[in-house]
Structures are given as C-alpha cells and as structure tokens.
Amino acid sequence: MSFLNPILLAALAAAAIPVIIHLINLRKPRKIAFSTLAFFQELQKSTIRRINLKRYLLLAMRVMAVAMLALALARPFLPSQVAGWLGASAQSDHVAVLVDNGPSMMQIDEAGPYMDQARSAAVEIVNQTGEEARFLIVPSHGELASGRFLRRAEALRYLEQLQPVNKGGYPAERMAYIQDRLDEEPGARGRVYWISDARKTHLEKLEDGFRLAEGDRERNPVIFIRVGDNSFQNVGVSGVEVAGQILGVDVPAGVSVTVRNFGDQPVYNHYLSLEIDGERIGQYEVSLDGGQERELLFEIIPESPGVILGRAILEGGTHTFDHKRYFSIEVPESRNVLLVSDRGEDGTRRSYLRPALIAASETGTRIHTSFTDVTTLREYDLDTFDAIILESLRRIPDYLQAELVQFVQQGRGILFVPSEQGNIENYNRFLGQLNAGSFTGMRGAYGRFEEIASLQPLDSGHLLAAELFESGDDEQLRIDMPAIFHYWRYQRDDAGSGAAVLRTNLGEPLFVEHAFGDGMVMVGSMGFSPGWSNMSIKPIYAPLIYRMLLYVVAWEHGGVREHILGSPFDRYFTEFGAQVTLHLDGEEIRPETAASARGLRIRYPAQEWQPGWLELKLDGKKTAIAINQDISESDFTSLSLTETRQFLTEIIPVAGVVSITGYSVDEIRSAMATISFGREIWNWFIFIALAFMVAECIISRKYRTETADE
C-alpha cells in the first residue's frame, strides 16, 4: 500500500490526543476509612479490573478512529500489481502512452534532456503496470512505427529507441487514434497517459483537430504528465517569400526572409545567409529584441528558366532545427495567355489591349497570347494557359463561371476587365464565387472624355514600376499620369481581403488582386478603350500593362512552392500526366494519384518527411517543392499546470495533470508509482474510522461496569 499525499501522514500525530486526555483524567482511587472492609475487598478488585479494561478499550478505539481518519487524508492506494491480485476493478488491461517527441523535446534543463525525462516516465508506467497489461506507445511526431498493442518487453524496447524528430506533429490525430484503438478492444479497460512539455502551440493543435461528440464523455480519461519548464529562448527562420511575384530570366527579383525571436529576451550576433543552388549570395547580421520579427531582403537574378532551389540559413543560438528554411521557385520559359472578349467592337469602343499583346508576342517577350470570344471559347483547352483575360464581357455565362473558378483554384491567374455596359448583378455573382469583392456603381460617363480623376502617381518602388525606370539616386521620378474619364466603383468584402495594385488619385481602387485557392484574380474597375481614359496614348501604357500581365501569370509559377509538415501532401496538377514519382532525400516515394475535375490529384501521408526539397517527376517533367517545418514548433512557450488542466478539460476527459519538472530518475519512478496506482482505498479507512467511533459509543453507553451487579 502507498499514499498519494504522503505528507498528510503527519496527521497521525493527532492519534496522541486521546492518550493525552486519558493521562490527564487518570486519578488514583480515594481511600475512605470504614469499620469493616473485608466484605468489599474482593468486590473492589473485580470492579477496578473491569473499569480499567473498559477505559483502555475505549482509548484504543478513539486512537484507532483518529488514526484511520489521518490515513484517509493521505489517500492510500493499492499498486496496480496488488490491485490485480485482489481483482480490483480499476486495474487496466490496456495502457496507451502518447509521448511528445517533437523538436522542443530536444531542450535540456537541470534534470537532463526533456526526451530522457519523458522516456523515463513512460518506462516507469510500463514497469509498474500489471503483468497481463498491453501497451500502445504512440509518438506525437513522425510516423507510427506500430499500431498494435505491445507486451511489456516490446514496449520497453520501443521506448528505448524513441527519439525527438524534426518531423510533422499530429497531437489531435494521435489522441483520436488512441481513443479509437482502445474502444476497438472488446471488454478492455484502458488508461491513457500523455507526456509532453505542454507547449501552447502543441496543445492548440489538439483544440483545432480533436473534439468529443456530446455522448463521448465516457471515453478513456487522460493523465497529462508535464516535463521541462518555460525558461528557454528560441530564434528561427519563420518564412521565405518572393517579393513582387514577377519572375523571369535576367529579371532581378527579391527574396524576403523573415527571422523571429520567439523568446522574451534580446538576442545578438546571429547571421542570416541565403543560398541559391548551393551558392551563398548574401548575408546579414541579425539582432532582435524579445518577441521581435524582422524581414530581410535578398536579390536574385535568374539566369535561365527552370527550378531554383534555395535555403535561408540562420547561424547562432542553441536550437538549430528551425535555422534552415527551404524554398523552391520555378521560372517558366514563357507564359500562355488567353484573351476572351465580346464581338461587335466599334471604333469608339475598340480596346488597345489586343494590339499591345500582339506587339508583345512579336517582340520575343515571355508572354504568348491567343485570342477568342465567348462563342468560340469551348474550342480551347483552358489547362494549356497560365492566365485568362476577360475583357469587356457584358455578361459572364454561368457555364463559364464554374470553369473559371476551378481555373483559379488550380493556381492560375485571371485579369477581369469590365464593360461599360456590363451587368452588375452578373459581375458580382461571379466575383462572389472568388471572394473578390463587388461593384457598387459607376463614376463619370463613358465616352464624354471629361476627367474625373487620374492614376495615382507611381514611385520607383511600386510593384509594377520596380526596375521599369532608370534613374539616379537623387533623381526624382516624374511620370505624366493618365487622366480617367469613367470607372466602376469597387469595394472589397467585409474581411478586407485583396490588395490594391493601382489606385486613382482619389484613393479609390482601379485594379485589386485577390488570392483564391492556389491562384489569383485581379479585378479591374476600368477598361482599356479610349472612353475609359487616355492611358493608351501615354508612354507608360505598354510597359505597365505588360508588367501587370506578368504579375497575373506569375502567381503560381513564380511563387514559392511549399509543403508544411504536420498535414498530408495533397495537391492538384493539371499540366502533367499520370506517371508520378516523388523523391525526397534520395528515396523514391509512390504517392496515391486520382483524376478529378480539378486535375491530377497527388496525395501522400508525409508523416515520415523532414525539411528538404521534394522532387516531383510527372511524365518525365521535373519540378520541386520545398518541405518545411511548421513554424509553430519553434515557439517553446508552455502552459502552467493550472492552465493546462483548464485548457484540456474543454477538449478531452482529464483524469489528472501532474508535473515531473526537474525530477531525478528516482523521483520520476516514485511519481509514476503515485499516479500509476491500481485502486484508491481511502474510503476503506473512512468506514473503519466510523466503525470504531460507533463501537466506542455503544460500549461507553451500554456497559457501565461501575454499577454492574455481582
């Protein structure tokens, strides 16, 4: 027998109180002179013996009653082995242990590595459980090595090999898996332990992915065991993006790298470098205040079309698992654009967009344009185009809207240019499917050539004007901005999504980009015929339109392709065939493929993947996707025991939350013996104490030895 609160055994000292009272009340018989005592001598001896016997019996009962109450306060319990021998119902047939083996478990405190502490706790749980029990050992990160219940020796061997890994974390999925596996065992009684450092971001994943149904509160309760504390700092590379999205051969582009200090103390003397295809192209010195995030910009110039593989590398600090951020950029050789317009243009409504695109195609640029109208659109395979321009369509046919939404979801771009005769309800219905705002009316009159606004002045750092002009450091950029005669009034949705690429000098948006699915739609508030503005006669017109199209078509092809660990790999590809292989760290992977309306779907669990580059071969054509760790793994902020209990209670049934922070191996063994009990028996001691008190009352009232008849 052991005790959950052994410190309360000090209450046993209260058992001395009845003894002290007895000693205080103990008095010698008073001698009284009497003429003849011979008759009473034998009666006196017999009565005194009976009085003393009663006193000592009542004293023993009082002492035992107080002692039993003190033992009950210390919460005695039978170890699981003993409880099993006695047939105690609390003995578990099956024990599941969810062990956190994520990157944060590489930390070290005064008691040693977090992972060693967690492993020791799991080993003691296994050792202190009954011989007939079976064990389900489940890691929180990486792949599941075994989905079956193990015997003691197998479980101990598995725990000995368990190490922290820089792989995806699945706390919600693994907890659901444990509960389901225990429920599948017929007639089994189960216990669940979760050993972790109680990282806030780790527990939040459980909140997002694991919910008990209304009738599931009877599922197996969880004992949460915390290791480590919350005193450690960490700095990591939190993201890599291509600035501006416009990529091309010999065209300078920016790579923005974000570094974040996840701790509350400042850090100094860190160095951030950028590697492109194995060659270092630049370096920054980095110092950050507590909680600070900083973006650093590197310039790259692609020398040829194809895939660019890069790494952002941070040097310095203690924990290095998040000091590398991989990225992959694809620079396409050319882009195919389809211009869809209405028939029946007259001289006053003739657009200058078509001639500009023809001229661009004939001068060897990276954009190749095809032209059609809605009546012949079905003759084209949309999957062969990187972008579609919808110019001056009075209505967007319903059958076409669904295809265009799918087109954008697959990672392509759409440039929508309205007609002055457009149907606003039809337009807004289409934009609503893309979460791309809506039109609310018009300003000005088409074809009256009365200036109501002008294009907002551009500076050399503007997205569409960058690298477009050559000027000295002190030279001010001067551009004759076009006058605007007519445009649609446009508003973004309530969520405030989208970013204005061009505005009027009144601050109203003219062209707004919206991300949707894997692609992008750019919504225009004006067209390119003379009735809208005099843009077509300005020198800025052709280069501005060209760069706008580059921006639209470069959304997916020019962006960073990335997969974040912790979720299955699930992507659609429309430009490739059905012969698919994946290669990661020299190993070939055979994914699951399926044809769908969105294209070829490629799926793989990706639980064993680590950060790096994933090479895809689809019908002989190669591409690459960067594999990176979820940045939430870099935040070591942990919850206290009280916060952990409150947090978990809202999500899963909790049997207890305990800490072994700073414990030695012997202390961990003792703590596991405390929480791995088979059955509490404190109520037994309460009943025994009550029995002693009742017996004391009965004896003291019924047996009055002083007046007994002889």
What is the CATH classification number for the domain harbouring 516? 3.40.50.880
| Bridge partners (DSSP) listed for residue 193 | 97, 223
Are 240 and 252 part of one and the same domain? yes
Pick the more confident residue, 355 or 262.
262
Report how far residue 342's alpha carbon sits from residue 529's, in angstroms, rounded to the nearest whole number: 13
Cα 270 to chain centroid, rounded: 27
Residue 586 banded pLDDT, cuts 50, 70, 90: confident
Are 420 and 370 part of one and the same domain? yes
- Looking from the CA of 195 toward its CB, the CA atoms found within 13 Å total 29
Report how far residue 472's alpha carbon sits from residue 460's, in angstroms, rounded to the nearest whole number: 11
Report yes or no on 650 lying in a domain: yes
Are 376 and 259 part of one and the same domain? no
Q: Which of 10-14, 152-156, 339-343, 689-693 has the lowest mean pLDDT?
A: 10-14
Report yes or no on 669 lying in a domain: yes
Report yes or no on 31 lying in a domain: no
CA dihedral of residues 510, 515, 520, 522 (deg, nearest 10): -10
Opening angle at CA 398, ends 393 and 403, nearest 5: 90
What is the CATH classification number for the domain harbouring 86? 3.40.50.410
Locate 367 and state its tokens.
């954009």
CA dihedral of residues 437, 441, 446, 450 (deg, nearest 10): -100
Residue 473 has pLDDT above 70, yes or no: no
Residue 487 has pLDDT above 90, yes or no: yes
Pairing between strand 599-604 and 592-596? antiparallel
Q: Give residue 215's region: left, alpha or beta (phi > 0; psi -120 to 50).
A: alpha
Are 362 and 445 part of one and the same domain? yes
Nearest in space to 627 (alpha carbons), one of 185, 230, 324, 235: 324
3-class state of residue 159 by DSSP: helix
What is the CATH classification number for the domain harbouring 628? 2.60.40.10
Report yes or no on 340 lying in a domain: yes
What pLDDT, on the 0 to 100 scale, is given for residue 475? 57
Residue 205 has pLDDT above 80, yes or no: yes
Are 138 and 223 part of one and the same domain? yes
Are 164 and 109 part of one and the same domain? yes
Residue 694 banded pLDDT, cuts 50, 70, 90: confident
Are 453 and 358 part of one and the same domain? yes
Report how far residue 16's alpha carbon sits from residue 445's, in angstroms, rounded to the nearest whole number: 102
Q: Give residue 321's region: left, alpha or beta (phi > 0; psi -120 to 50).
A: alpha
Q: Considering Cα of 381, then 382, then 387, then 393, what sign does the dihedral take?
A: positive
Pick the more confident residue, 464 or 661.
661
Q: The whole model's pTM is what?
A: 0.69
Residue 324 has pLDDT above 80, yes or no: yes
Number of compact structural domains in the chain: 4
What pLDDT, on the 0 to 100 scale, is given for residue 364? 52
Report how far residue 310's alpha carbon sits from residue 297's, in angstroms, rounded to the nearest whole number: 14
Residue 295 has pLDDT above 90, yes or no: yes
**Average pLDDT of the segment spanning 652-660:** 87
Report how far residue 167's alpha carbon sits from residue 179's, in angstroms, rounded to the nearest whole number: 23
Report how far residue 611's alpha carbon sits from residue 630's, in angstroms, rounded to the nearest whole number: 10
Report how far residue 295's alpha carbon sits from residue 239's, in angstroms, rounded to the nearest whole number: 9
Residue 108 has pLDDT above 60, yes or no: yes
Are 216 and 156 part of one and the same domain? yes
Are 254 and 207 part of one and the same domain? no
Q: What's the pLDDT tens digit per position in 305-317?
A: 888 899 999 998 8
What pLDDT, on the 0 to 100 scale, is given for residue 472? 54
Report yes or no on 30 lying in a domain: no
Q: Which amino acid appears at position 632 of this protein? A: S
Report yes or no on 60 lying in a domain: yes
Q: Which of 39-48, 157-166, 691-700 has the highest mean pLDDT?
A: 157-166
What pLDDT, on the 0 to 100 scale, is given for residue 305? 81
Q: What separation in angstroms does the CA of 413 have from each of 385, 416, 447, 515?
A: 9, 10, 30, 9
Nearest in space to 400 (alpha carbons), one of 411, 416, 420: 416
Report yes or no on 34 lying in a domain: no
- Are 598 and 410 a contacting pair, CB within 8 Å? yes
Residue 118 banded pLDDT, cuts 50, 70, 90: very high
CB-based contacts of 28, cutoff 8 Å, min separation 6 = none
Residue 677 banded pLDDT, cuts 50, 70, 90: low
For residue 442, the enclosing domain spans 335-466+478-557
Are 534 and 516 part of one and the same domain? yes
Are 404 and 551 part of one and the same domain? yes
What pLDDT, on the 0 to 100 scale, is given for residue 313? 96
Report yes or no on 471 lying in a domain: no
Are 270 and 315 part of one and the same domain? yes
